[in-house]
DNA sequence: TCACATTTAATTGTTCGCAATTGAATGCGG
DNA sequence: CCGCATTCAATTGCGAACAATTAAATGTGA
């Protein structure tokens, strides 16, 4: 292959694509989180929903979706599974029957205490300092 | 809520979690890529497989999996779809019948030329300089 | 008030991603 | 050569993720 061709190929090389770096990092985090969250009976997206609710209980489905960039097609079944697990309750807003309000059950609220151990374990597993991770986060956001 | 409680809650706040930043960034990239890849008739994971093949044609399924951190449960159906789209061919390795070799068809090889436009479009859409993106990538990998 | 647009969840269908299992091919120790 | 472990792909089952559609509630303009 001529040199000119190789140069033109550079942008298509996997290693040069930041999207792949981000994609891989997301999967890597998922692999680290999975065994920890198994102990809580949560998947990673379910954990994210619980984080939102632990900060702000009783919010509309729509708000959770905006916070996590997810739509009803993803959230409706996910929230039904959380309801089956007795972590949340779903009720229509009486002020506006279009909205579904998501509220923690006592069980869901209690799970927060168990979840406190998660960030520290992730930190240990990621073999990075807090400073390194914070710097990385700020680069991304 | 007492101050002590709020301090203890900090590690559980969504915005403080680097994993969420990475997770969001991955989804954001996906949203930018989707319309571009639609023009090629590829999904993002399919595009990644094609990137691998454009660099190195005729490799075992296993090698693609190691490169992209995907297993046969993900790759087998994905590769079957690429075969249905006539972009690749799957053949057993005659030296070792356990392996499946993945090779580009003429059509699959030709698609590389159309794909050259993708990285540049992404760059434009991401509203970052090449330097910024490269710096970000190096932080992540 | 009535027609019509907008908002919101739910549903349907397709594709990923992964754990767990299965089954075939290969490698290896005795 | 034989028994057994290992490797590799395929399969099954479940949970995301998202586009597109549907349906109900609400808002709005004439």
User: What average pLDDT does this structure show over B7-11?
Assistant: 71
> Is the CB of B13 less than 8 angstroms away from the CB of A69?
no
Do B23 and A116 make contact, defined as CB atoms within 8 angstroms?
Answer: no
pLDDT for position B122: 80
Mean pLDDT computed over A80-85: 98
What is the pTM (predicted TM-score) of this model? 0.86
CA A100 to C1' D26 (Å) is 14
CA of A92 to C1' of C18 (A): 34
Nearest Cα of chain A lies from the Cα of B98 at a distance, in angstroms, of: 27
Q: Do A14 and B112 touch (CB under 8 A)?
A: no
Bases of strand C lying below 7 A from some protein CB: 7-13, 15-20, 23-27
Nearest to A19 among B17, B33, B112 (CB): B33
Q: Do B21 and A55 touch (CB under 8 A)?
A: no
Q: What would the pLDDT profile of B22-45 be if each residue is shown by its tens digit? A: 888 888 888 889 999 999 999 999
Protein CA A64 to sugar C1' C3 (Å): 33
What tens digit of pLDDT does each residue of B85-106 get? 999 999 999 999 999 999 999 9
pLDDT tens for each residue of A88-141: 999 999 999 999 999 999 999 999 999 999 988 887 766 554 554 455 444 444
Whole-number pLDDT of residue A57 = 97
pLDDT for res B2: 58
Name the helix (H) or strand (E) containing B18: helix B18-38
């Amino acid at each position: 292959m001529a040199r000119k061709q190789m140069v033109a190929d550079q942008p298509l090389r996997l290693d040069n694509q930041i999207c792949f770096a981000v994609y891989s990092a997301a999967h890597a985090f998922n692999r680290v989180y999975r065994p920890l969250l198994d102990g809580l009976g949560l998947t990673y997206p379910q954990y994210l929903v619980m984080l939102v609710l632990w900060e702000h209980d009783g919010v509309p489905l729509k708000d959770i979706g905006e916070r996590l960039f997810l739509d009803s097609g993803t959230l409706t079944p996910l929230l039904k599974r959380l309801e089956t697990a007795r972590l949340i309750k779903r009720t229509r807003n009486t002020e506006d029957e279009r909205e579904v309000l998501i509220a923690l059950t006592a069980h869901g609220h209690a799970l927060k205490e168990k979840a406190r151990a998660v960030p520290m374990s992730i930190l240990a597993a990621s073999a990075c300092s807090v400073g390194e991770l914070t710097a990385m986060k700020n680069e991304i956001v």
